[in-house]
Amino acid sequence: MTTLARVTESPLVQVATEAERRPGTIKLCYGESDLPTPAFIVHAANEAALAGHTQYTHTAGAPELRAAIGAKVHELQGVELRGTEVICTVGGTMAIYLAIRAFVGAGDNALIISPAYAIYANAAVMAGGEARHVPLAADGNRFVLDIERLTRAIDARTRMIVVNSPSNPTGWMITEAEQGALVDLAARHDLIILSDEVYERLVFDTDIAPSLARFAERGTRDRVIIVNSFSKTYNMTGWRLGWAQASERTVRLMYAAAEFITSNPTAMVQQAGIVALRDGEASVRRLRAHLAARRDQVRTVLGTLPGATLAEPQGAFYAFLRIDGLTSSASLASRLVSEAGVALAPGSAFGPGGEGYLRLCFAASDATLGEALVRLQPHLKC
Ligand X SMILES: Cc1ncc(COP(=O)(O)O)c(C=O)c1O
Q: Residues in the site for ligand X, rule: CB under 6 A?
A: 31, 91-93, 117, 164, 168, 196, 198, 229, 231, 237, 242
Nearer to ligand X, 262 or 368 (CB): 262
Q: Smallest gap, in angstroms, from Cβ of residue 370 to ligand X?
A: 24
Nearer to ligand X, 117 or 308 (CB): 117
Nearer to ligand X, 66 or 301 (CB): 66
User: How do 342-343 and 318-323 pair as beta strands?
Assistant: unpaired
Q: Smallest gap, in angstroms, from Cβ of residue 164 to ligand X?
A: 5
Nearer to ligand X, 164 or 266 (CB): 164
In whole angstroms, what is the distance from residue 381 CA to residue 158 CA? 43
In whole angstroms, what is the distance from residue 60 CA to residue 119 CA? 21
Nearer to ligand X, 93 or 308 (CB): 93
Nearer to ligand X, 211 or 341 (CB): 211
In whole angstroms, what is the distance from residue 58 CA to residue 77 CA? 26
Nearer to ligand X, 175 or 237 (CB): 237
Cα separation values, 141 from 27, 178, 210, 287, 348, Å: 25, 18, 21, 25, 19
Which letter, b or e, does each residue of 267-296 get, where b requires 16 or more Cβ atoms within 10 Å of its Cβ?
bbbbbbbbbbbeebeebbeebbebbbebbe
Q: Smallest gap, in angstroms, from Cβ of residue 96 to ligand X?
A: 6
Q: Smallest gap, in angstroms, from Cβ of residue 52 to ligand X?
A: 26
Q: Smallest gap, in angstroms, from Cβ of residue 342 to ligand X?
A: 19
Nearer to ligand X, 131 or 308 (CB): 131
Q: Smallest gap, in angstroms, from Cβ of residue 107 to ligand X?
A: 26
Q: Smallest gap, in angstroms, from Cβ of residue 338 to ligand X?
A: 25
Nearest position to ligand X, beta carbon: 91
Q: Smallest gap, in angstroms, from Cβ of residue 117 to ligand X?
A: 4
